[in-house]
A and B are shown apart, each in its own frame.
Chain A
Amino acid sequence: MNTLELVTLEEERAVQAFLLREARLLDEDRWDDWLLMVSERIHYWMPGIENRRREDARGGFNAEHMALFDDGYRELQRRVARFKQPSAWAEDPPTRNVHLISNIEVYAGENPGEYRAFSCFVNVRSRGLDEQYQIAGRREDVLCREGDGLKLLSRRILIPNATLPCKNINTFL
């Protein structure tokens, strides 16, 4: 889809509110509430980034490459289940998160009731007394109407890093 069709201000505001609320739920460790914002048809994808030359037809990422997330709903549920285990020793004391969301653009989606949203994020995590990790990136989402609300139908997350500058990503982006 090459044309970007604007939506009404009201729709744009609803999508923005969705993205900002989602970030707040993650910062508050409300993973179950976050999952309620996700469609069971979700494809949640964060490909690994390859440092290749411009002329290389494979590009910097592709669907066959290893990913950091390449999840359906079952995988997201499993990740949430792990965060919530009392035996997730490394999460106690908990990791503290801030998800900053910006550069939001909202357009009409391919199908009626769908929206295509671009955004940027900065995720700052701190653990223990002094550990701090920062990841920034771009997201491209498709949101859809399910029931009486919006749900996240697909998300593509691209970070600039070919080597992750930290040991893990123990949150959603």
Chain B
Amino acid sequence: MMDKPTTTLKAIESTPPLADLDRICDMQEGRMAGKIFWDSEIYEQELEKIFARCWLFVAHESQIPEPGDYVATTLGEDEVLVVRQKDRSIKVLINACPHRGNKVCFAEAGNARGFICNYHGWAFGPDGALRGMHESGVYEQSGFDKSRQGLREARVDSYKGLVFATFAADAPSLADYLGPMTWYLDVILDNDEGGTEFIGGCIRSTYECNWKIAAENFVGDILHAGWTHDSAAQAMLGGSVTKVSELPESYQVNWNGHGYEFARDLVGNAAVLGESAINKYLHLHSPKAAERLGEFRARMLGAVSSFTVFPNFSFLPGQNTVRVWQPRGPNKIELYTWVIVNRNAPAEVKEKWRRGAMMTFSPTGVFEMDDGENWEYCTKTSRGKVTRYQDLYVGLGMNSRLSDTELPGNVFRGQLNEANARAYYQRWKDLLQARTWAEVPDRNGKLD
């Protein structure tokens, strides 16, 4: 890992926490209020205390292999460019000119020798340094210092191909931020010596829902699948989805609000793609994966499972869809999705995954259609002033914590559980209450 706090950002003022957070979110009681999904004040607090502070996923290294390669994305609502440098390191630069703030790059991806602002022609290198501009002589006459006017930088670090960035100078290292959850992320990122890559670029869509309801779904809500997705399972498999309560072994695990839920049925998720070549690949690959990861994790490759890295980066093993729920107001998101595969997987298997993810979890995906409906109306009902303050139940699986396990993280028995959702919302609340990273309490080992 590399971790160079090279930020040249001015810190933003910390605002006081909201007064009614206990009423909005009480995970000891397993309840929250609908207001958590519908409130512009809460949203402003989230932009400051979560999105300007946490490590956020920005790119997979395979998207920008060569110097000058870039992709555009956002950290919260802040637009950034993720740029491969000459020395192969990666910089994350705010995509706004330090002169009048205009966007300096309008493409979503490409290769560039630099970025030139359309407004007054300020020209920046791929490293963000200001190189010159239209009518540069007049700036020189006024004692202008070019070296102080580069594109602003966020902190960058990566974990096995996944690149993250944060605006917070006081944030813990990415390694500390992810903690022992990397043991589970390795199921996807490190089950093969060749590592992983993204294929097929990015698909974006727009939902009228709060960002947390989507992230929470992936942090640990397999419970919905058997009901919500019955029609899609019938269409793809000619039968219902796996009945999770009948799986012999399943878990929810979390740490710092990140959550991974999983069974050990190897192909439970992958099977819904209805592509025998993918099932075959997973069965053949599992013994190879076991050499790297051990028998336990080798049974998780395409299993009934999902995860969210707090706050808004999610993934479905098996379907291999990777996604960021980009916040766009309290009741709107843009969904960015990509497909991840093992770099060494056969080309025809990668192609099956590209199409399979499209067929299941994309805006035309037969599974995703039903999720969108649910999330939009979980959000919209809370516009009612009274409804907004009613309790929503988040109490499933209280007291299911396992203490006699060697699995890393906070481990809970059974996937049909809201333990990860509680840990997720607790982290959300802790961040909204804390004025600095140092004030964020460590809840690990203490959650129910």
Q: Does A41 touch B at the CB level, under 8 Å?
A: no
Q: Is the CB of B107 within 8 A of A164?
A: no
Q: Please tell me if the beta carbons of B363 and A164 are within 8 angstroms of each other in the complex.
A: yes
Chain B residues with CB under 8 Å of chain A are 106-111, 199-208, 228, 230-232, 234-236, 274, 334, 337-339, 354-355, 357-359, 362-364, 366, 368-370, 372-374, 376
A166 touches B205 (CB 8 A): yes
B355 contact set on A, CB distance < 8 A: 67, 70, 75
**Residue pair A68, B201 in contact (C-beta under 8 Å):** no
Evaluate contact between A90 and B234: CB separation under 8 angstroms: no
Q: Is the CB of A51 within 8 A of B203?
A: no
B363 engages A51 (CB within 8 Å): no
Tell me what chain B mostly uses at the interface: helix, strand, loop, or mixed.
mixed
A166–B366 CA distance with the chains assembled, in angstroms: 15
Task: Please give, as numbers and ranges, the residues of chain A lying within 8 Å of B109 by CB-CB distance.
Answer: 50, 52
Q: Which residue of B lies closest to A173 (CB)?
A: B364
Query: Number of residue pairs across A and B with beta carbons under 8 Å?
Result: 122
Specify which chain A residues have a CB less than 8 angstroms from the CB of B364 in the assembled complex: 46, 68-69, 79, 168-169
Task: Say whether B230 contacts A168, CB under 8 Å.
Answer: no
Residues of chain A having any CB pair with chain B under 8 Å: 46, 48, 50-53, 56, 64-71, 75, 78-79, 81-82, 85-91, 162-170
Taking the closest CB of chain B, its distance from the CB of A125, in whole angstroms, is 12
Question: Does A163 contact B204, Cβ atoms closer than 8 Å?
Answer: yes
User: Interface majority SS on A: helix, strand, loop or mixed?
Assistant: loop
Report the minimum CB–CB distance from B320 to chain A (whole Å). 12
Contact in complex: B359, A53 (CB < 8 Å)? no
When distances are taken between beta carbons in the complex, the residues of chain B under 8 Å from A162 are 108, 204
Residue B358 contacts which of A67, A167, A170 (CB distance < 8 angstroms)?
A67
Contact partner of A68 (CB less than 8 A), chosen from B202, B203, B231, B374, is B203
Determine the distance from Cα of A168 to Cα of B372 in the docked complex, in whole angstroms. 8
| CB neighbours of B376 from chain A (8 A) | 167
Quote the shortest CB–CB distance from B161 to chain A (angstroms).
18
In angstroms, Cα B232 to Cα A82, docked, is 6
Given the complex of chains A and B, what is the CA–CA distance between A128 and B359 in angstroms? 25
For the complex of A and B, 10 pairs with smallest distance between CB atoms: A85-B231, A82-B235, A66-B200, A167-B372, A88-B231, A90-B373, A81-B235, A87-B230, A163-B204, A164-B205
